[in-house]
Chains A and B, each alone.
Chain A
Amino acid sequence: MKKNFNSRILGTAAASCVLGLTVSPRASAAISDEDFNALKSTVQQLQSERAQDKQQIQQLQQQLGETQSLATNAVEKADAVAQAQATPVRNALHNFTMVGDAEIQYAKTFGNNTHSGFLLADFAPIFLYRANDSILFEAGFDVMLQNGAEPVSSHDSGSSTSVGISFAQLDYLINDYVTFVGGYMLLPLGTYSERSAGFLNKMPDGPLGREFLPGAGAGAQLRGAFPIGESGQMITYSVYGANGPSSLDGLDVAGSLDLGGNVGLLNTGNTGNLHSAPSGGGRLGWFYPWAAHKDLEIGVSGQSGVWDDAGNHYWSAGVLDVALHLGPSFELKGEFINSWYGTSDVGTVHPWAVWTQAGYKLAGLNLDMPVINDIELVGRFDKENDAQGTSTDRYTAGFVYYITNTLLFEGDYEFLHSRGPLALPSNEIILQMSYGF
């Protein structure tokens, strides 16, 4: 009986379970009105968004079509322009840049009963006009301010400003190896006038002997360089013709030589050379670098031509220039200048000069001290003999303090031994601020 009772209970429980399982899904299959409405509104929203997306796609397709049409037109226009330019049109750009330098000094010349004083030593702007990659016109000026002379006596009074053209030349780069230069051009006699003037010179004044050479001349020149290999080695050349030296007063005596005139425009307004024939000259140089900041350059240059009005006497000059760099801290350079010219009073006059200058940047000592690293010690020995009784030896010790890469504070003391009728004043001390821009 107990077993029967248990069986009945078990069966009842099983039936209940089965009933529960079959009934509950039927009950959960029913959706409420709220859920149905929510679902309906979601579907409607999605349909609306789809319609909007379709519209946007159509608009974008239309825009793409228009853009493609424009691009096609632009390409066609460019082709048309390129065809129209079958005959090249050369246009000038007139790019203008100004560079140059300015120096202010405080100097004292010992002896001659003179006092120390301040001065605007030089303002030398250079104007550069570039027409295109092959054409450049460049002109350099020297603006000097000095005391004027009282008209009755020679005493200094007032001031006068002079503006001189140091060069004005047209450069035409014909090809990779030949450049034409014409006008009032810097002459390649040595390298000083082309590469060491102004703030590039590490001393407040230039070396002796450069006054025996014309710094610039009216003429025409071909110049260029031929590289040797890929190491930076090269041969440089310059060959030129110029009006040449002339006579101050038309005479052919020793004191009449004029190295700064004969520029082609006469006082009468006519054009012409003051004597019968132009001078010719040139420079050949060899540059050999064997490592960065280690190089040697040797150059030989010269010029020759008549100088007197009658064309009876020649003026000639030869210059040997050398520059050596041994690392970024040390440089040594110099020139030997030899000139000679015929005269009617003293025969051949033979002025000559030599200068050598060395510089050592204290950064080479690797002391890692801020002020010391920006100082360069410089020294120069120069000697000249004008072959008319005056000779000068000078020893100069100086320094350069690089405030920036283009603002230099320089100073030097010059020990001078000069004798003869045109002897230079005694020792001198010069402090200079030099700005290259």
Chain B
Amino acid sequence: MAKNGKSNYRGGLMLRTEKFNTRTGRALKFMKKTQTTLWHTSLFVGVCVISLGLSLACAAPPEKKAGKKLTGAELYAINCNRCHAERYPTEFNSGQWQTLLTHMRVRANLPAKQAKEILKYMKEEAGN
């Protein structure tokens, strides 16, 4: 019984509520704090990820690993663009490319395997 004789129920409830509220409040505070921390962390991580992505995008492409065979397109870029602007595969037909690559193999002193790979690349998209 409360001192004034009234039931302590309400008071108990209030007390429990208060306690609950206090705990809830603490919980809420904790959650809020956690949320803030999470938000900050997410923001930081996001900035890091974006920065990393941008730097990777701007970085020079990695060198070809030793031993990996170069494709016809890569060999074309390495050898042919040194002397002249790009010639498109559709400019000549397959037979003409055969003749032209023989001419270029002699003129530019291309190794045989590289010349064959470049020829294969040009023939794939050759005109009619």
Residues of A within 8 A of B (CB): 95-97, 99, 126, 128, 130, 133, 136, 138, 171, 173, 175-177, 179, 181, 186, 194-196, 199-200, 223-227, 229-232, 234, 236-238, 285, 289-293, 295, 297, 323, 325, 328, 331, 402, 405-406, 436
A175 to B112, CA, bound (A): 8
Contact A181 B106 (CB under 8 A): yes
Q: Which 8 A-B pairs have the closest CB atoms?
A: A176-B112, A236-B109, A130-B99, A405-B85, A225-B111, A227-B111, A292-B77, A97-B99
Given contact pairs A128-B100, A227-B114, A436 touches B84 in the complex (Cβ within 8 A): yes
Given contact pairs A195-B107, A223-B109, A225-B110, A230 touches B102 in the complex (Cβ within 8 A): no
Interchain residue pairs with CB less than 8 A apart (22): A95-B98, A97-B92, A133-B102, A173-B105, A179-B105, A179-B106, A196-B83, A200-B83, A223-B106, A225-B110, A227-B113, A229-B67, A231-B70, A236-B109, A238-B109, A290-B63, A293-B77, A323-B82, A325-B82, A405-B87, A405-B88, A406-B87
- A327 closest partner in B (C-beta): B60
Q: Verify if B68 is at the interface (C-beta below 8 Å from A).
A: yes
Q: Verify if B66 is at the interface (C-beta below 8 Å from A).
A: yes
- A238 closest partner in B (C-beta): B109
A323: chain B residues at CB < 8 Å are: 82
- B112 closest partner in A (C-beta): A176
Name 14 extra pairs, CB < 8 A, besides A226-B111, A230-B70, A232-B79. A97-B96, A128-B102, A128-B103, A133-B102, A173-B102, A186-B107, A195-B83, A199-B84, A200-B84, A225-B111, A227-B113, A230-B69, A231-B66, A232-B78
Q: Verify if B41 is at the interface (C-beta below 8 Å from A).
A: no
Contact A99 B100 (CB under 8 A): yes
Contact A136 B106 (CB under 8 A): yes
A333 to chain B, nearest CB (A): 9
Q: Verify if B108 is at the interface (C-beta below 8 Å from A).
A: yes
Contact A97 B100 (CB under 8 A): yes
B84: chain A residues at CB < 8 Å are: 199-200, 436
A173: chain B residues at CB < 8 Å are: 102, 105-106, 112
- A188 closest partner in B (C-beta): B109
- A291 closest partner in B (C-beta): B63
A237: chain B residues at CB < 8 Å are: 109
Contact B107 A194 (CB under 8 A): yes
Q: Verify if B64 is at the interface (C-beta below 8 Å from A).
A: yes
A3 to chain B, nearest CB (A): 74
Q: Verify if B125 is at the interface (C-beta below 8 Å from A).
A: no
Contact A231 B111 (CB under 8 A): no
A126: chain B residues at CB < 8 Å are: 103
Q: Verify if B81 is at the interface (C-beta below 8 Å from A).
A: yes
